[in-house]
A and B are shown apart, each in its own frame.
Chain A
């Protein structure tokens, strides 16, 4: 059981960690472009924010997977 629990914990960590990396990679490009656009026209803040947070759903998926895994453990 201890080994199994440990493996589940590692799996949960990988799920949320890699998802976070993925989201970060996607967001860095969007964010940089959004800041650039905002420097030109401040009115684009709203649109920039929306575009910026779209990839962030990825990490939520990872988190949900991690939570589901964690529920199996406890």
Chain B
């Protein structure tokens, strides 16, 4: 359970005419992780795609063009279509789709082209509308040169000084000019214009006032737009009619192409193929039987090696565990947490998969940090809805965190803290606001069941801080011990017991020593007892510390001294379990007292405001709780816990299989 599934490496060898059936079978099996055949093996070439590949890719290209023309975007998943129907209809469908669509798409493109031409024309003409001249007046002079363009400043003054004769028109707040000068003065005029940041624009064709031309353009545009709308409507209808089939066909064809190209990953000789693959050992018999049944003796399955932990350990070198795919074997519902581990890195094949442990500790931490029935119930509901509805890995993981975190939140909230929405159930000895006070009945501190009594609220987040800090440190110590234990197991598996003793046992001893010293410190610092050097805990603590450090020194060198304060800060880091609960309790207390104080004197409209403050405040705390408790809960796993043992960098088990969304297989 903690280890990935055992893998077996196989060779699948057969004659080429059996290749298509073999590929189909491999995809149906869903347990074969194909290894790319190395291209440089003597006597082998890489396989070539099955004959259907090129035809299918051709169709796929056409279909994707249609998809683009129809502007099909990922819609709500339509009714899946059977792949049999698609195979039957696809050829005719592509032809008829092409005919049906090309007209509409053609006219759409034409209209769009014309629209963009007109737009350009309009933009060219716009500045001329500001000048009081007709368009034909800009051209066809024998002795006059015309400059039209934009300037940074009005050249009027300078022109007056240098030229005898000229005619200047300006528009657009002196930024656009038309200058008419005798041809003989053209050079001088150009020089002056350039000094004023002149950039010439081309003269538009046409006659009459630019405004009238502009008007015409706009008229044409509005007609074109109407036409475009009609075409779009036609396209929309076509889209509605064909989207499901196009998407389904694309999926079917992609699957066909994917299958047909699988031989590229296999090796081949003139008449045979060979595939190199990993399968989970326990699926091997099933695979062999199925091949025997469906294909017969034509394909030979050769067993290359069974990768057991012991094999990896032997020799301890030359084994590349990164190349063996890791297939996690976590029972439900712990497997929902697998993505959290993936997020850091896929576990290696010869490494303990921490998913199971996280699936307990993360919700525990989350619950302890929030610890409030009032928030726990919506967590569970939200998480449940999420697990039912969402599909993407990220959101499913968040839903998982909320659901299981919520369960622990309710448990801790009820039994441990005995509170909902920041208020305790039972009357408080400190005179705080409680549900008992609010409802006017005395809720019990505990439920008595014969000899047992079940507590409802043992601690208050704001009043029992000392003991809660202490508890959170102990939880941290347990968590760290487990982390070192896993590290010990990992090193022992990978490099043998001797290494594990030196590398990890040292730390376990040091942590144990620290525990004894912690007990002593609590007595001395918090309870105020005198510190006695010959105290048994002192001797045991220091003794373990020294032994651990000596072992560690041999195993890891002076690094041990550097990492020692790190271990201490790791333990203190777990006090966040209390600190975050406290901060939330403080916020809740504030909002509760504000709203109660608002109700108390006034009544009437104030009640509405008070309820508003109450709702908004608690909603804010609720969201903060998800973010802070979620992030800190994860952080304690990733930083404090994983650093003690986790390496990662494995290869995820990725078997050949088909994912269908728009199609169904018969």
A and B, one complex?
yes
Across the interface, do A53 and B569 meet the contact criterion of CB distance under 8 Å?
no
Q: How far is the CB of B351 from chain A (nearest CB, A)?
A: 16
Across the interface, do B573 and A57 meet the contact criterion of CB distance under 8 Å?
yes
Q: How far is the CB of A34 from chain B (nearest CB, A)?
A: 13
Across the interface, do B344 and A64 meet the contact criterion of CB distance under 8 Å?
no
Interface string of B454-477 (1 = CB under 8 A from A): 000000000001100100000000
Across the interface, do A61 and B579 meet the contact criterion of CB distance under 8 Å?
no
Is B576 interfacial (CB 8 A cutoff)? yes
Interface residues of B in 595-638 (CB under 8 A from A): 631, 634-635, 638
Interface residues of A in 34-66 (CB under 8 A from B): 45-47, 49-50, 53-54, 56-57, 60-61, 63-64
Q: Binding site of A, secondary structure by majority: helix, strand, loop or mixed?
A: helix
Is B343 interfacial (CB 8 A cutoff)? yes
Is B572 interfacial (CB 8 A cutoff)? yes
Given A45-B343, A71-B465, A71-B466: A50 and B638 interface contact (C-beta under 8 Å): yes
A49 to B631 Cα, complex, angstroms: 9
Across the interface, do A46 and B573 meet the contact criterion of CB distance under 8 Å?
no
A46 to B572 Cα, complex, angstroms: 23
Interface residues of A in 5-58 (CB under 8 A from B): 45-47, 49-50, 53-54, 56-57
Is B254 interfacial (CB 8 A cutoff)? no
Of the candidates A56, A61, A63, which one forms a contact with B635 in the assembled complex, judged by CB atoms under 8 Å apart? A56
Chain A residues within an 8 Å CB radius of B509:
none
Q: How far is the CB of A35 from chain B (nearest CB, A)?
A: 16
Chain B residues within an 8 Å CB radius of A63:
575-576, 579
Q: How far is the CB of A74 from chain B (nearest CB, A)?
A: 9
Interface string of B618-662 (1 = CB under 8 A from A): 000000000000010011001100100000000000000000000
Chain B residues within an 8 Å CB radius of A54:
639
Is B274 interfacial (CB 8 A cutoff)? no
Across the interface, do B639 and A50 meet the contact criterion of CB distance under 8 Å?
yes
Is B45 interfacial (CB 8 A cutoff)? no
Interface residues of B in 559-574 (CB under 8 A from A): 569, 572-573
Chain B residues within an 8 Å CB radius of A49:
343, 634-635, 638
Q: How far is the CB of A63 from chain B (nearest CB, A)?
A: 5
A47 to B648 Cα, complex, angstroms: 11
Of the candidates A45, A50, A67, which one forms a contact with B579 in the assembled complex, judged by CB atoms under 8 Å apart? A67
A53 to B642 Cα, complex, angstroms: 14
Chain A residues within an 8 Å CB radius of B572:
57, 60-61, 64
Q: How far is the CB of A50 from chain B (nearest CB, A)?
A: 5
Is B399 interfacial (CB 8 A cutoff)? no
A49 to B466 Cα, complex, angstroms: 30
Q: How far is the CB of B39 from chain A (nearest CB, A)?
A: 26
Across the interface, do B573 and A53 meet the contact criterion of CB distance under 8 Å?
no
> Which of B569, B572, B579 has its CB near the most chain A CB atoms (within 10 A)?
B579
Across the interface, do A60 and B573 meet the contact criterion of CB distance under 8 Å?
yes
Across the interface, do A60 and B639 meet the contact criterion of CB distance under 8 Å?
no
Across the interface, do A46 and B579 meet the contact criterion of CB distance under 8 Å?
no
Q: How far is the CB of A70 from chain B (nearest CB, A)?
A: 8
Across the interface, do B579 and A64 meet the contact criterion of CB distance under 8 Å?
yes
Across the interface, do A46 and B639 meet the contact criterion of CB distance under 8 Å?
no
Is B82 interfacial (CB 8 A cutoff)? no
Chain B residues within an 8 Å CB radius of A50:
344, 635, 638-639, 642
**B468 closest partner in A (C-beta):** A67
**A49 closest partner in B (C-beta):** B638
Chain A residues within an 8 Å CB radius of B582:
67
**A61 closest partner in B (C-beta):** B572
Chain A residues within an 8 Å CB radius of B342:
46
Chain A residues within an 8 Å CB radius of B635:
49-50, 53, 56
Across the interface, do B575 and A64 meet the contact criterion of CB distance under 8 Å?
yes
Across the interface, do B344 and A67 meet the contact criterion of CB distance under 8 Å?
no
Of the candidates B343, B345, B469, B639, which one forms a contact with A53 in the assembled complex, judged by CB atoms under 8 Å apart? B639
Q: How far is the CB of A31 from chain B (nearest CB, A)?
A: 13
Interface string of B295-339 (1 = CB under 8 A from A): 000000000000000000000000000000000000000000000
Chain B residues within an 8 Å CB radius of A64:
469, 572, 575, 579
Q: How far is the CB of B352 from chain A (nearest CB, A)?
A: 18
A33 to B469 Cα, complex, angstroms: 33
A50 to B573 Cα, complex, angstroms: 14
**B576 closest partner in A (C-beta):** A60
A49 to B343 Cα, complex, angstroms: 10
A44 to B631 Cα, complex, angstroms: 17
Chain B residues within an 8 Å CB radius of A67:
465, 469, 579, 582
A9 to B582 Cα, complex, angstroms: 17
Chain A residues within an 8 Å CB radius of B575:
60, 63-64
Chain A residues within an 8 Å CB radius of B579:
60, 63-64, 67
A72 to B502 Cα, complex, angstroms: 43
Given A53-B639, A61-B569, A67-B582: A46 and B343 interface contact (C-beta under 8 Å): yes
**A51 closest partner in B (C-beta):** B639
Across the interface, do B569 and A46 meet the contact criterion of CB distance under 8 Å?
no
A57 to B540 Cα, complex, angstroms: 29
Across the interface, do B569 and A57 meet the contact criterion of CB distance under 8 Å?
yes
Given A53-B639, A60-B579, A64-B572: A47 and B344 interface contact (C-beta under 8 Å): yes
**B573 closest partner in A (C-beta):** A57
**B579 closest partner in A (C-beta):** A63
**B394 closest partner in A (C-beta):** A45
Query: 20 A-B Cβ contacts within 8 A?
Result: A46-B342, A46-B638, A47-B345, A49-B343, A49-B634, A49-B635, A50-B638, A50-B639, A53-B635, A53-B638, A53-B639, A54-B639, A56-B635, A60-B573, A60-B576, A63-B576, A64-B575, A67-B469, A67-B582, A71-B465
The 3 closest A-B pairs by CB, nearest first: A46-B343, A46-B344, A53-B635
Given A60-B579, A64-B579, A71-B465, 7 new contacts (CB under 8 A): A47-B344, A47-B345, A50-B635, A53-B635, A57-B572, A60-B573, A63-B579
